[in-house]
């Protein structure tokens, strides 16, 4: 009987202040949408790093015969300079960071170039003499790429030492910036929700002050009196969180997995499973925050 009465009071309050309740629901929806987007973006960054960092190589290009670079002023890298690089890679100083080393000859470089440019006008644009021999170094710890690259760059016969991670970092930085932007917007919306929620609860409590006073006269406890108002905030936040999860699911399913995933099959794309793993935290977090905010509001302002 008590539970039925509490529910009736809760839904009566939601109906009476339906505009404010809808506002709380909408703000919660938008806030959690940004929080979810930021979390999923960070998951995507982690997926990319996991996929690509293990494949990162340091490529050490040796001086070709036609280079005008200052470090290649003495001409094409000699066999002795190539041998010196091989010996250096086997030293204790640098070998601890290296998994495997492959030396790519100019003939192999030309063959790889033709395979990559197959079907284009560039396929026959270069000859073997114009290609660069290089060392392809697979790292045992991709995080140490800079140490390996810097120790090889500038050595005799070396045109440049390039690491693939440096090419990937701009992509990761861009995604991280999007994550930060989404997080900031989510923070703004959360503050807005926390400001709007107390107002809604206060209006609901004030509109039923006579009823709460009667309940107090007949011996109702503070918790029994306050619970319908707390539930109003929780239900509004719950509705907003469910809408947010639904919005994230639709976006990931149809725009990320089905659309981007088909054209970027080589990349591990976030999917609806990531949304479902995130959804309990969004829903429970919204309900807990709404419940606490409502309870504090009643204690500080409503004075029921």
Domain boundaries, the chain: 2-52+169-302, 54-164
Choices 1.10.10.10, 3.40.80.10, 3.30.70.3040, 3.20.20.70: CATH for 54-164: 3.30.70.3040
Residue with token string 């469910």: 242
The per-residue pLDDT for 4 is: 67
**In terms of C-beta density within 10 A (0-12 exposed, 13-18 middle, 19 or more buried), how is residue 89 classed?**
buried
CA 121-123-125 angle, 5° bins: 80
Q: Give the highest mean pLDDT range of 225-234, 262-271, 275-284.
A: 275-284
User: What percent of the chain lies above the pLDDT cut of 90?
Assistant: 7
Whether 234 has a pLDDT exceeding 50, the answer reads yes
**In terms of C-beta density within 10 A (0-12 exposed, 13-18 middle, 19 or more buried), how is residue 119 classed?**
exposed
Kindly report the pTM of this predicted structure. 0.60
Rounded Cα distance, 280 and 300, in Å:
30
The per-residue pLDDT for 206 is: 63
End-to-end CA distance of the chain: 22
- Return phi, psi of residue 159, to 5°: -75, -50
Whether 302 has a pLDDT exceeding 50, the answer reads no
User: What percent of the chain lies above the pLDDT cut of 70?
Assistant: 73
Ramachandran region, residue 163 (left: φ > 0; alpha: ψ -120 to 50; beta: rest): beta
208 contacts 220 by C-beta, under 8 angstroms? no
Mean pLDDT along residues 5-33: 71
Mean pLDDT along residues 233-237: 82
The per-residue pLDDT for 153 is: 84
Would you list the DSSP string of 75-138?
A: -SPPHHHHHHHHHHHTSHHHHTTEEEEEEEPHHHHHHHHHHHTTTSTTTTS--GGGS--EEEEE
45 contacts 175 by C-beta, under 8 angstroms? yes
The per-residue pLDDT for 283 is: 92
61 contacts 85 by C-beta, under 8 angstroms? no
Half-sphere exposure (Cβ direction) of 236: Cα atoms closer than 13 Å: 36
Whether 138 has a pLDDT exceeding 60, the answer reads yes
- Mean pLDDT of the chain, nearest integer: 77
Mean pLDDT along residues 162-183: 72
At residue 284 the predicted structure's pLDDT band, cuts being 50, 70 and 90, is very high
Whether 88 has a pLDDT exceeding 60, the answer reads yes
**In terms of C-beta density within 10 A (0-12 exposed, 13-18 middle, 19 or more buried), how is residue 290 classed?**
buried
Mean pLDDT along residues 254-264: 75
Rounded Cα distance, 30 and 166, in Å:
35
At residue 279 the predicted structure's pLDDT band, cuts being 50, 70 and 90, is very high
More confident residue, 172 or 300: 172
278 contacts 40 by C-beta, under 8 angstroms? yes
pLDDT digits (tens, 9 = 90+) for 39-72: 888 888 777 766 666 667 788 889 888 788 888 8
């Amino acid at each position: 009987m008590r539970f039925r009465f509490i529910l009736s009071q809760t839904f009566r309050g939601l109906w009476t202040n339906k505009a404010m309740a809808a506002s709380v629901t909408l703000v919660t929806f938008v806030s959690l949408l940004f929080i979810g987007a930021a979390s999923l973006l960070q998951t995507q960054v982690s997926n990319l790093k996991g996929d690509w960092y293990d494949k990162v190589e340091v490529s050490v290009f040796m001086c070709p015969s036609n280079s005008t670079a200052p470090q290649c002023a003495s001409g094409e890298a000699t066999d002795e300079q190539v041998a010196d690089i091989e010996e250096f890679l086997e030293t204790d100083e640098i070998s601890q960071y290296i998994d495997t080393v492959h030396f790519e000859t100019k003939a192999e470089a030309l063959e790889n170039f033709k395979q990559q440019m197959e079907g284009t006008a560039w396929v026959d644009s270069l000859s073997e003499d114009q290609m660069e021999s290089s060392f392809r170094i697979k790292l045992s710890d991709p995080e140490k790429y800079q140490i390996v690259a810097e120790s090889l760059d500038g050595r005799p016969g070396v045109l440049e030492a390039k690491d693939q991670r440096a090419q990937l970092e701009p992509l990761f930085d861009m995604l991280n910036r999007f994550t930060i932007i989404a997080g900031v917007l989510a923070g703004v919306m959360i503050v807005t929700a926390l400001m709007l929620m107390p107002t809604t609860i206060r209006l609901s409590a004030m509109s039923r002050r006579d009823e709460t006073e009667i309940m107090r006269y007949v011996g109702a406890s503070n918790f029994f009196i306050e619970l319908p108002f707390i539930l109003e905030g929780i239900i509004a936040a719950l509705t907003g969180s469910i809408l947010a999860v639904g919005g994230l699911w639709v976006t990931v399913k149809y725009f990320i997995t089905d659309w981007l995933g088909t054209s970027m099959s080589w990349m591990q794309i976030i999917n609806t499973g990531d949304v479902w793993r995130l959804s309990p935290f969004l829903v429970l977090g919204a309900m807990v925050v709404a419940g606490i905010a409502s309870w504090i509001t009643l204690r500080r302002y409503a004075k029921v």
